[in-house]
Structures are given as C-alpha cells and as structure tokens.
Structure 1
Amino acid sequence: GNIRVFCRVRPMLPSEEREGERPSHISFPDEKTVELVKPDTEVSAPLLPFSKQMVMAFPFDRVFPGSATQAEVYEEVAHVVQSALDGYNVCIFAYGQTGSGKTFTMEGPPELDLGSPNDSQLGLIPRALQQVFMSAQKLQRTQHWEASGSTCLAIIYNENVRDLLSTHPRSNQASCQIKHKDGSTMVTNATRTTIHELLRRARKHRAVGSTQCNEHSSRSHSVFQLRITGTNSRTGVGSRGLLNLVDLCGSERLDESKAEGARLRETQHINRSLSNLGNVILALSQKAKHVPYRNSKLTFLLMDSLGGNSKTLMLLNVSPCEKNVGETINSLRFATMV
C-alpha cells in the first residue's frame, strides 16, 4: 500500500551499560521481522526456561538492528524522498517513546552541525535535503528542468502550531523571500544554506521539558515541509511535490512518565495527538469513507500527505532496554496496526 512501516532498534547507550541496565530479548529472524521475548510478569524472567516465556513476532516492511548505520537506514528511505521530486506528496515521520532515538534518526546527535555534508552521523532530514538539491541540479543539467523549493517549519506544542519562520531575523530576510501562505510562513527561493540555518534554529526552538523518561525529552512535534516545484524549460511541463519530515513527541503513557501539573497536560495533549494520528492511519488503511484529519493540528497540517495519492513512511524507533519493554510492546503493536 501507500503506507510503509520500518522499525529501528537503537543500540544500548554507554551510560545504560555503565548503570547495569539489562537489554530486552529482541532478535531479528529476517530483515522484515522483530521478535521480542515478553518476560512473565508473575515470575522473575531469568528463572523461567526460555520456552515458557512468550515470544512475540512483529512484521514490518524493513527492520534495522542496533548495528545499522545512518547511511544504511537512509538507503532504504531514499526512494521515498525521490517520490517528492517526481511530484508526489510524501510524509516520513519518526514515532516511538521518549529516548528511543527518533531525533537521532531524523537529525543526528545533538552536537552535530546539520550543515556538514559528509558526516556519517547525519540523520534523515539533512540527507534528504542533500538528495533533493543534488537531484534538482542533475535534472537542471540533463533534462532542462528548472526546480525551486519553498519551505515551512512548524512545531506543535499543546495543540498550538508555532511557526518558526515568522521570527526570522530581519537581517536574514534579504537571503530568502518570506511570504505567507495558508497562515504559515513559507521561505521561497530556499537554498541549501538557508534551509540548514532554519534547521539549526528549529533545533534551538523546540520546547524541551524534562520527564522522568528522558532529561532532554522534546515536548513538541516538529514538522519540516519542503515544497518542490519543477518546470521543463523546453516543454513547459511542470510538477509539484511536497516532502514532510516529522519528528514526533515521545509516545509514553502517563503512568510511565510520572508527569505532574503542566507536564501532565502536555503529556495528555501529546497522547491525544498521537492517538488521532493512529486513527487517521487506521482509517486510511481500512479505506474508510471518513478520515478524521481535523481532530488534531498534526493530522490537519499533514492532510495533503496522508492518504490519496501520497506516500507515507513511518519509522518506529525502539529502545533495547528491558526496563522499557512495556512501552516497546505498545509501540510495536501500534506500528503493526498501520
């Protein structure tokens, strides 16, 4: 179908190994299946023979173990990004509990310069931008295509959409024209440099709150949109594509996050938003007559790129730690519903 689902299990972190965290029993019988041994909750799992523990199998379009590199993951994603250049609306989003590696998959490690072209740690967003710009230049040289890009960058926090471009310093406005379209700011005539600068700003602006799950947990969805318009200068034939790259909030349950007060309200908003995304994807996969796009700001913003003739890729990120096994099973179940 038009919705594909990949699963990436991150490696154990050095800090987790130092603290004596135990890894879950996760295995990969083939490149499309994740198997997880669910410990018996009534008896200490190590005391049970392996056969008495429940083995759960989850099918995906592609799975990546902890040893998978950023380049190996992107190799499987590149053809979906190419579809945006071919005139399709594309949505790629990272889903998973806090600390499962979503932002690492989408951007790279926090200290990485997103504009550095050859770093092996670069995530999906900077790699996708490199691919788009290089493909556009090649089409210009070989097939007389004139391509232009415009970008919109938004974060969704507590069901409020915040446009990161509207606060762009005036001194930089000479380098890219700013215009408003459908209530959000589009940066047109976007160059590789202006886009990387926007990504750096987005990283700085995302609302970050401390939950018990992760001291650097991002509490806002980040939605990066790149509209690609191409025209063949000889034939006049044109195409329009849209690429959405989305880093979602953590998907943990309230009892796991130990959130209180304002943080509790945040978690409730996040869970509602993710639940609505699940409902939209489920409705699309079941070819339902009514798809509830308007039930959340996230699905409303992505409406053009979910369903219809669009292509959607969900990248489920999973923690390898045994202490997270409950959330891991929830995430795997959610993803295999899609």
Structure 2
Amino acid sequence: KRAGWDLKGQLEDMKALVQSREMMSSELQTQLDSYNQRIISLESHNNHLSGTVNQKEQQTESISREIEDLKRKLRNSEDDLDGTKRRLQREIDDLSFSKSTLERQKDSLAGELTASQTEITASTNIKIKDTTIMELREMIRIHEAKIREQDEELINQETMRRKLHNTIQELKGNIRVFCRVRPLLGNETQDNDGVIGHMTFPDKDGKVLEMEKLGDSTILNSTRGGNKLLFSFDKVFDPVSSQAVVFEEISQLVQSALDGYNVCIFAYGQTGSGKTYTMEGGRLEEEDKIGMIPRAVRQIFSTGLQLQQRGWTYTYIASMLEIYNETIRDLLSEDQTLTHDIKMKGKDSGDVHVTNLTTVNVTQESEVFDLLKRASHNRAVAETKCNERSSRSHSVFQLHITGKNSSTDESCQGTLSLVDLAGSERLKQSGSEGQRLKETLCINKSLSNLGNVIMALGKQDSHIPYRNSKLTYLLQNSLGGNSKTLMFVNINPREEFFNESLNSLRFATKVSSCVIQGRLILMSWE
C-alpha cells in the first residue's frame, strides 16, 4: 500500500487495475461469443436430429401399413380358398346325387330291357325285337358312360379337396397355439363370487388374453397399461367355452390325419389347469363333456366311412402309453414287467417304434373307446401306487392311419398323436423333495427339450435334438417335416397361481412365434 502523499504511484496503480479489468472483460466477452457459437451449433444439430426422427417415424408408419396390407391379403387368400373348398364340396354333393339318379335310371332301364326281351321272345316280329334291344342297350351304354364320367369327376373333386384342405391348413400355420382358461370350480368360487378378476378377453375374435396382477405394482411395470399383460394366440377359449366349441376349431386339423399327414395335438400347463379334461373329458355318456381324443376318434371313423363311396378304404392301429421319469409304460398291456424302448424301424427309415408296445387293429370307434377305458383303468391303478402319477407323467394316444384308393391307386399314411403332458411346475415354488423332486426335474427337462425341438425346427437347424428326451424322440415324425402341430396351453384361473400361469403363457408365446417350413421366427428361444 502506497503512502497518502504518493499520488502518482496511486494513479499508476489505478491504471494498472483498469487495464487488468479490461483484459478480463475481453476474455469474458470471447468466452461468451464462444458459448453463443456452441449454442447455435447445438441448436442446428438438434434440428437435424429432429428431422431424422420424423423421417424414421414416417418409415416406421409406412412399414406398418405394408405389414397390415400383407396380413389383409393373407386373410383374403384364406377366405378365397375356403370359398373354393365349399364350392367344390357342393359340386361333389351334386355329382353324387346325379350319380345315384343315373344308377336308378340304369336299373330301371335294365328292368325294362329284361321285360322287353321277354315280350319280344313271344313276339313274331324279330325285327322289332332286335331294334328295341339295340335301343335299350345303347341307352344303357350311354348311362354307364355318364356314370363313369361322374365317378371320375368325384375322384378328381376329392383330390382337389385334399389339396385345398392342406393349403388352407398350411396358411394357418404348421404350428398353432390355442389357449384355454378353465372355469373356477367348487369352493374356488366362494371368495370372489365366481369372478376371475385378473383375466379378461378383450377382442371379439377370441385371440387375446389379458392378465393383470391385482395389487402388485412390481410385475412388469414397463408393459403397456401398467400391470396388464397381453398374450395373443391363434385362438383363446374363455372359461365358458364348451368342449364342442373347442373341438370345432381343431376338427380340420384332425381331417389332415386322414389325408396322410402326421398330426400332433398336445396339452401343456401346470397341474390342475384342465389338460386331462381337455384331452380326455368326462364320461362318454355325457356328450357335452367328451374330450378331444374321443371326439377326434369319432370324426376319423365317420369321415372314413363317407370317403368309402369315393374309393377310399382305411385301416387303423391304436396304441396308448405314458412316459414317467423317462420310462415308458404300456397302458394297454397287462404285463408290466416288459421293458420298452424307442427304436428306428430301419436304416433308411425315419420312422420310430416302441419295442414290446401293444398295438391294436381297430375298425370302429367303439373299439377305440374300450381301449381308452382300459388305458384309463391301468393308469388309475398306477396312480394309487405312484403318488398321483397321472399328473406327473405324459400320456400319448396314437392312431396310425393307412388309406388306399381302389379307383386311383393312391395311398396315404398318417398318424394322429394326442398328448396329455405332465404338469409343468417351477422347482423354486414347488418345494419338491425326494421322489417328487426327481419327478419335477424329469418333467421340466422333458418339457424344456420339447421347446428346444420346436425352436430348432423353426430355425431350420441342421440338427434337431429329438433324442434328448423320450417324448420328443417318440413324436419326432409328428413334429417336423410336413406335420401339423397344435399346442393347448391350459391356464388355471385362480389368482394365487398367477406366476405359474404367466410362465405357461410365456412358453406358449415362444412356441407360437415359431413356424415350421420357411416361415420366420419372430422371437428367440431364451
């Protein structure tokens, strides 16, 4: 600090301070200009990014419209094919009626010819007799030619029907998933007056199931609608759907087995979700409770009889077994000491068979129903000895169908496999120990292998792990190639089983996203 009398020194200090402040002000102005330039640059970049986002949104909207257009075209194609199929069926019916009319006319003319021959024999006019006989023979020849034409037309129409039917089934997908929610039963209805509050069926087409974990905000809050989860399948059956309504949706798939394709229908879900009721149903005397297996058998034999007039004859071989802890048990055999294994039929054959398995030639549906009763009895006996074995094992009913057309020399072979899978159970929540733990591990491994096989088929992998479990090894010809596969995912409506239901629905969604033979897989198997 300078002395008070040193005014010149103080003035120099003031000048130096002013210069310092001016330099600082200049630097601050330079920084301000730099920041302004940075702001302008960032605003320009932000405007550019906004334009890019808008462009991407427009592209996304365009692609979505294209996808919807393709879906609409596919639905139109299916409708056109269904219309063509119905028209051909009407033409077949008309031709059948015309054929029967011509046959009656032929029989009538043959009778007239016989009568005329008798009358002419007694007549002295040989010329009139010969002329009449020739005319009647010509008429018979013409009618016989028309009948042959009608028979050929019927055969051609049946061949066309089979091709169109298979085309329609392939358009619908070689792997389909149906979801079925059973109703609340007995005491389950007491707490909530029979209302299933956490499940809704929002769409009119019956293809969506909506679930909501009531009172729990921790379940997938990222899902649109908070706690609500949407699952879409080829068909969703609510708790009031009858057995007849369910079977109507799979009846065309059953028809494919008669047409020479391998068809596999299996029920998946936790224990108590309604799998066995769906597949086997109640007593045969209760028409509305009959399950998918007896209904499919009834349709097979009924349609087989109708096709006889078009030259087709069929033979049927039935079998039924269960797979418990990766061990096969013959449900139609009284000798339970026999061991069973799965073997290839030959070096060059892709077909498999079960050693020592009881197979029965059947000619009518009542014989199959007797076999089903025998299998149910044998399974019930095992259940009392093996801790509810029916819910801990896979049951497999198979009907092998061989068809031969005497008119065209066509032949076909198909297998209808109807499977009631063991109850899926997450090990963490089951608390299983001992034998039950072993059962749960075997079941989960088997079901996991089933999913792996389906996903490998969808991805068209060079190696399909059929032999990783007895179930997939047995069903390998009914899962791959040109086979038709349908999965029922059965859901328990009780809210305390929400997590188990969610697990089943996620598995079914992965199966639904996979389609055999060239169609894209929309989800990956995790």
* Pair in the same fold by TM > 0.5: yes
CA contact (8 A) 2:200 2:209 kept: yes
Contact 2:266 2:420 in 1 (8 A): yes
The answer to whether 1:14 aligns with 2:186 is yes
**SS of alignment partner, residue 317 of structure 1:** strand
> Match of 1:133?
301
Shift of 1:168: 7.5
- The equivalent of 1:155 in structure 2 is 322
Contact 2:210/2:230, CA 8 A, preserved across alignment:
yes
Cα distance between partner residues in 1 of 2:385 and 2:197: 25
Structure 1 counterpart SS, 2:287: coil
2:137 maps to which residue?
none
1:120 matched to 2:303? The reply is no
Residue 18 of structure 1 deviates from its aligned partner by 3.1
Residues paired across the two proteins, number: 314
Deviation at 1:327? Answer: 0.3
Compare the two structures and name the one with the higher strand fraction: 1
In 1, the alpha carbon distance for the partners of 2:376 and 2:482 equals: 31
Query: Which secondary structure state, in structure 2, belongs to the residue aligned with residue 265 of structure 1?
Result: helix
Distance in 1 separating the partners of 2:439 and 2:457 = 27
1:322 to partner: Cα distance: 0.5
How far apart are the structure 2 equivalents of 1:226 and 1:194?
Answer: 12
> Which one of 413, 420, 434 corresponds to residue 240 of structure 1?
413
Structure 1 match to 2:44: none
User: Within 5 A, what are the aligned runs for 1:40-79?
Assistant: 41=216, 53-79=226-252
For residues 220 and 24 of structure 1, what CA distance do their matches in structure 2 show? 32
User: CA distance change for structure 1 residues 257 and 217 in 2, over 3 Å: closer, same or farther?
Assistant: farther
- Consecutive unaligned residues in structure 2, runs of 5 or more: 1-172, 337-351, 512-526
Partner of 1:246: helix, strand, or coil? strand
**1:4 aligns to what?**
176
Residues 24 and 325 in structure 1, CA contact (< 8 A), matched pair in contact too: no
Map 1:221-236 to 2 at 5 A: 221-236=394-409
Q: Distance in 2 between matches of 1:167 and 1:279?
A: 35
Q: Report the Cα distance in structure 2 between the residues aligned to 1:209 and 1:185, rounded to whole angstroms.
A: 23
Once the two structures are aligned, what percentage of the paired residues are identical? 53
- Distance in 1 separating the partners of 2:490 and 2:402: 32
User: Does residue 146 of structure 1 match 2:284?
Assistant: no
Q: Distance in 2 between matches of 1:215 and 1:168?
A: 21
Q: 2:485 aligns with which of 307, 312, 320?
A: 312
Q: What amino acid sits opposite 2:304 in the alignment?
A: A
12-21 vs 157-166, greater mean Cα deviation: 12-21
Q: For residue 296 of structure 1, what is the aligned residue in structure 2?
A: 469
Structure number with the higher helix fraction is: 2
Please name the residue that 1:262 is paired with.
Answer: 435
Summarize the Cα distance change of 1:288–1:39 in structure 2 as closer, same or farther, 3 Å threshold.
farther
Residues 242-273 of structure 1 show CA distances to partners (whole Å, capped at 9, x for unaligned) of 10000001001123333221111111111111
Contact 1:153 1:225 in 2 (8 A): yes
Greater CA drift, 252-261 or 295-304 = 252-261
Moved more, 33-42 or 280-289: 33-42
- 1:55 shift after superposition: 0.9
Query: What does residue 200 of structure 2 align with?
Result: 27
| Structure 1: gaps of 5 or more residues | 45-50, 170-179
The one-letter code of the counterpart of 1:121 is K
- Asked if the contact 1:84/1:243 (under 8 Å) is kept, the reply is yes
What residue number does 1:98 align with? 271
The answer as to whether partners of 1:24 and 1:320 remain within 8 angstroms in 2 is no
Q: What's the offset of the Cα at 1:332? A: 0.4
Aligned amino acid, residue 211 of structure 2: L
Task: With a CA cutoff of 8 Å and minimum separation of 6, indicate the structure with the bigger relative contact order.
Answer: 1
What displacement does 1:43 show? 7.5
Matched with 1:172 is none
